[in-house]
Amino acid sequence: MEPVPGQEDLNTTVDACAPRIDTRSHVDFRPGILFSLKGRRFTHWTPQYLRYRIQASLRATLHPSEPSLTPDAVKQIERLVGPKSVGAEWGSGNSTPWFARRTKHLTSFETVPAYYEQIAATMRADGITNVDYRLIPHDFEGEEDEDEMHRNPYVRAAYAFGDETLDYALVDSAPRGCLCAGIAPKLRRGGVLILDNANWYLPPPASVRPPAPGTVSAVIGTPGSRIPRHQCWPAFARLIADWPALWSSNGVQMTLVLVKP
């Protein structure tokens, strides 16, 4: 993997966390959500972007059980995990039963009680029993205290796993920087770390097309980034500098699949 722009000369540690965390909501491609105006910013709503969004919504309709990741990422993950794999995820959803059906065991963490009940009911109806599903209610929106974030049980859960005990991990929830820095050492060699909306925090290679909204040009927490005092993201970027990185985009979101060497 080529060095990530903006990670040079970083004297950070993975124990630190960002003073500010971007907590944009999950991308939701359900048809009823597609044209919702709540919380939307429209500067990127070009005709081309609208076309990408419609395509993503149609795919979600045709493949309702797929995780809300890019199609290429889903294909990569199918190739990289198997029936003996053990993993964890932060931010449940379609990914929860999807991983449960394909792997040996999943530990899943969720912060929204209503959503937790919905996914739990789905798994009960489907007879899924190999998921340790944990609700840790919290709303990270607007939080800026890095020490407080690392005291939060939702983040501490990532650090609680033994080193090199997981085959895969999905981070699709705030605070992504804290969680990525914490979970990377917990993956075995050959383990897979999946980061959705990675382009909001780490600059993707120029070859990744089509572009997606919110893409940064510098690692969050480095000079020139929108949050220059961030610590977790620079530490994580340096940690994964030599990991094979599989970026993919559908024009609405970008997913990064990392393989631990």
Tally of domains in the chain: 1
Name the amino acid, one letter, at 167. D
Name the pLDDT band for 135 (thresholds 50, 70, 90): very high
CATH of the domain at 91: 3.40.50.150
| Mean pLDDT (whole number) for 25-48 | 51
| Per-residue DSSP letter, 35 | T
What CA–CA distance (Å, rounded) separates 180 from 201? 11
pLDDT bracket for residue 101 (50, 70, 90): very high
Q: Is residue 17 predicted with pLDDT exceeding 70?
A: no
Q: 3 pLDDT exceeds 60? A: no
| Residue 77, both tokens | 């993950």
Instruction: Give the pLDDT score at 43.
Output: 63
Q: Which pLDDT does position 117 carry in this prediction?
A: 98
Specify if 50 maps to a domain: no
Tokens of 88: 């964890």
Residue 135 falls inside a structural domain: yes
Degrees to nearest 5, angle at CA 204 with 47 and 261: 145
What's the chain's Rg over C-alpha atoms?
17
Percentage of the chain beyond pLDDT 90 is 75
Average pLDDT score over residue span 52-66? 94
Evaluate if residue 157 carries a pLDDT over 50. yes
- 80 vs 49, residue with greater confidence: 80
Q: How confident is the model at residue 41 (pLDDT cuts 50, 70, 90)?
A: low
Residue 162 lies in a domain: yes
**176 located within any domain:** yes
Region 37-45 average pLDDT: 57
- Domain residues for the domain of 194 are 65-259
Amino acid 112: pLDDT: 97
- Give the pairing type, strands 105-110 and 131-135: parallel
Residue 31 has pLDDT above 60, yes or no: no
Q: Is residue 101 part of a domain?
A: yes
In tens, the pLDDT along 63-97 reads 999 999 999 999 999 999 999 999 999 999 999 99
Torsion angle, alpha carbons of 204, 81, 52, 227, to 10? -40
Tell me: pLDDT of 219 over 70: yes
Residue 49 lies in a domain: no
Mean pLDDT (the chain) is: 86
Segment 122-151 mean pLDDT: 92
Question: Half-sphere exposure of residue 168, counting CA atoms within 13 Å on the CB side?
Answer: 26
In a domain, 21, yes or no: no
Helix, strand and coil percent figures for the chain, each rounded to 5: 35, 15, 50
Residue 150 lies in a domain: yes
Evaluate if residue 13 carries a pLDDT over 60: no
pLDDT over 80 at 19, yes or no = no
Q: Which long-range contacts (CB under 8 A, 24 or more apart) does 202-209 make?
A: 202/4, 202/233, 202/237, 202/256, 203/4, 203/5, 203/6, 204/247, 204/249, 204/254, 204/256, 205/2, 205/247, 208/247, 208/248, 208/249, 208/254, 209/249
Look at residue 72 in the predicted model and tell me its pLDDT: 98
